[in-house]
Amino acid sequence: MKSIIISKADKILKGVIQLPASKSISNRLLMIRAISGDDFKINNLSEAEDTQLLQKLIETILHGSSRKKVVELDTNNAGTVMRFLTSFLVLRSGKWVLTGSERMKQRPIGILADALNQLGASIDYLGKPGYPPLLISGGDLHGRELAIDTKVSSQFTTALLLVAPYFSEGLILHLKGKPVSSPYAEMTIRLMQLFGSNVKQGKTRIHVKPGKYQSHEVDVESDWSAAAFWYEAAVFAEEVDLELIGLRFESFQGDAILPVIYQNFGIRTEFTDCGIRLTKVDKKIDGFYYDFTDFPDIAQAVIATCAGIGIRGRFEGVQSLQIKETDRLRAMKNEIEKLGLQVAFSRDSNLLTTIEIKPKKPAFPEGLTFESYGDHRTAMSLAPFAIKTGRLKILNPDVVVKSYPRFWEHLKSVGFEIH
């Protein structure tokens, strides 16, 4: 297995980083463009592997609708791509098989597929009920009122909302249960409204009226979730002056909460004309407690931050991390325990909902090797430990291409050595 060795000779974090474009915004814009049928220009589209895959599959779909044979589409390990295309394909004439990696076949899709079937779609499970692969027979949907469980993934809600303007009767969506990652659904609604969709959002009800997206040129802002690993590194460093380019104060992204979270660790965020500037002040912190129900993509960086400085950490609302590219909760537990720390889970029904780190000075043994579990965010959340250890190894480092292809290159640009 491929690996890299990361080392840092000092504890200084200075430089300028051009953060990648937001994958979440890019993917939603690609879907809006495909659904609208207008080829409007998207500037600064994400270079992430997921976005490139979605773009490629959309092209296949747009050129495959007239074929009489079944067209197979492989989403690999991209959950967003699987869920967004499930909704899109019900509007496209033809027969489609939507599949993915072995891990993808273990990730639930039933809430979305069953909801679409209630609206008149034709989606069949080719394997285990509720999971990919899917056989989708596309056509027109009238739309109507529908209730959907929001406790598992906001992507189910987003997938329905994106196509809802093109239902002849629109869609009234009733949200059941405590939603996870709700800022991502709010991002979807704001982008739909930006393109002229008539969407009214209540606390437990979203009404999308039938209509067409109004296309126009658009710019993609940088990715706040990618900034999380730089905030983590800033906590571990002793001297910090780091500029992160492309982030906006008025952001579509919920992960723009990072400045609020990391001020608890002594990290100051200054908004500039180009992005943000991070500096550091001395601040004593004995423990950190947070509910990540709305912000699961930055949870691993914050968990690693607490582990790296040896404070008590309690993180709630992390149940959705179990159905990502890997079981991120168990991945973080396994790797953090290599530092001699104790990590415990709390369970609610069948789901792990809380992860807790007991306070203890972490040990950073020589030859420390971390697994990435095929997961980009796991790899990136462990990399900043090199500031604490001086040197560490990460297995399967190429996984970062999923969301942040230039991550290792950017580490080198601010003084890390990568071998």
Q: What is the pLDDT of residues 134-172, one digit of tens each?
A: 999 988 888 889 999 887 778 899 999 999 999 999 999
pTM: 0.92
Of the listed ranges 42-46, 216-220, 353-357, the least confidently predicted one is 353-357
Residue 161's region, left for phi above 0, alpha for psi from -120 to 50, else beta, is alpha
Can you give the pLDDT at residue 351?
64
Give the model's confidence band at 281: pLDDT under 50 very low, under 70 low, under 90 confident, else very high.
very high
> With the C-alpha atoms ordered 362, 368, 374, 377, is the resulting torsion angle positive or negative?
positive
Q: Of the candidates 297, 265, 291, 296, which has an alpha carbon nearest to the alpha carbon of residue 279?
A: 265
* 12-18, strands of its sheet edge to edge: 12-18, 239-245, 275-280, 267-271
Mark whether 187 and 321 lie in a shared domain. no
Domain boundary among 199, 219, 239: 219
What phi and psi values does residue 131 have, to the nearest 5 degrees? -135, 155
What phi and psi values does residue 412 have, to the nearest 5 degrees? -60, -35
Can you give the pLDDT at residue 191?
97
What phi and psi values does residue 188 have, to the nearest 5 degrees? -60, -45
- CATH number of the domain that 289 lies in? 3.65.10.10
Can you give the pLDDT at residue 115?
92
CB distance 351 to 319 below 8 Å: yes
Tell me the β-bridge partners of 391: 7
Structure tokens at 222: 């940088």
Q: Report the C-alpha gap between 258 and 265 in whole angstroms.
A: 11
pLDDT in tens, 332-378: 999 999 999 999 988 766 666 789 999 999 999 888 999 999 999 99
In the chain, the amino acid numbered 158 is T
Domain boundary among 198, 219, 240: 219
Please compute the mean of the pLDDT values over residues 103-116 and round it to a whole number: 92
Can you give the pLDDT at residue 177?
80
Mark whether 208 and 300 lie in a shared domain. no
Does residue 217 sit in helix, strand or coil?
Answer: coil
Mark whether 215 and 227 lie in a shared domain. no
CB distance 319 to 330 below 8 Å: no
Mark whether 226 and 246 lie in a shared domain. yes
Average pLDDT, the chain: 93
Give the model's confidence band at 289: pLDDT under 50 very low, under 70 low, under 90 confident, else very high.
very high
Answer yes or no: is pLDDT of 67 > 70. Answer: no
Can you give the pLDDT at residue 151?
77
Can you give the pLDDT at residue 346?
83
Task: Return the active site residues.
Answer: 297
Can you give the pLDDT at residue 129?
95
> With the C-alpha atoms ordered 165, 168, 170, 174, is the resulting torsion angle positive or negative?
negative
CB neighbourhood size of 185 (10 A): 25
Please compute the mean of the pLDDT values over residues 259-269 and round it to a whole number: 98
CB neighbourhood size of 353 (10 A): 19
Answer yes or no: is pLDDT of 12 > 90. Answer: yes
Q: Report the C-alpha gap between 364 and 352 in whole angstroms.
A: 28
pLDDT in tens, 301-345: 999 999 999 999 999 988 888 877 788 989 999 999 999 999 998
The DSSP string of 135-184 is EEEE------EEEEE-SS-HHHHHHHHHHGGGSTT-EEEEEESSPSSHHH
Answer yes or no: is pLDDT of 65 > 80. Answer: no
The 3-state DSSP composition of the chain as helix, strand, coil percent (nearest 5) reads: 40, 25, 35
Does residue 410 sit in helix, strand or coil?
Answer: helix
Q: Report the C-alpha gap between 149 and 178 in whole angstroms.
A: 9
Mark whether 131 and 47 lie in a shared domain. yes
Mark whether 233 and 148 lie in a shared domain. no
Mark whether 366 and 309 lie in a shared domain. yes
Listed in sequence order, the residues at least 6 apart from 176 whose beta carbon sits closer than 8 Å to its beta carbon are 147, 148, 149, 150, 151, 204
Number of domains forming the structure of the chain: 2
- pLDDT above 70 covers a percentage of the chain that reads 98
Mark whether 151 and 262 lie in a shared domain. no
CB distance 277 to 243 below 8 Å: yes
- Domain extent at residue 250: 3-17+222-418
Mark whether 69 and 39 lie in a shared domain. yes
pLDDT in tens, 180-189: 788 999 999 9
Please compute the mean of the pLDDT values over residues 80-107 and round it to a whole number: 94
- Could you give the angle at the alpha carbon of 378 between the alpha carbons of 44 and 150, nearest 5°? 75
State in Å, rounded, how far the first CA of the chain is from the last one.
15
Mark whether 238 and 277 lie in a shared domain. yes
Does residue 323 sit in helix, strand or coil?
Answer: helix
Mark whether 207 and 230 lie in a shared domain. no
Answer yes or no: is pLDDT of 299 > 90. Answer: yes
E strand segments, 187-233: 199-201, 205-208, 218-219
Mark whether 46 and 174 lie in a shared domain. yes
Q: Report the C-alpha gap between 254 and 221 in whole angstroms.
A: 13
Does residue 374 sit in helix, strand or coil?
Answer: coil
Domain boundary among 162, 195, 219: 219
Can you give the pLDDT at residue 349?
62
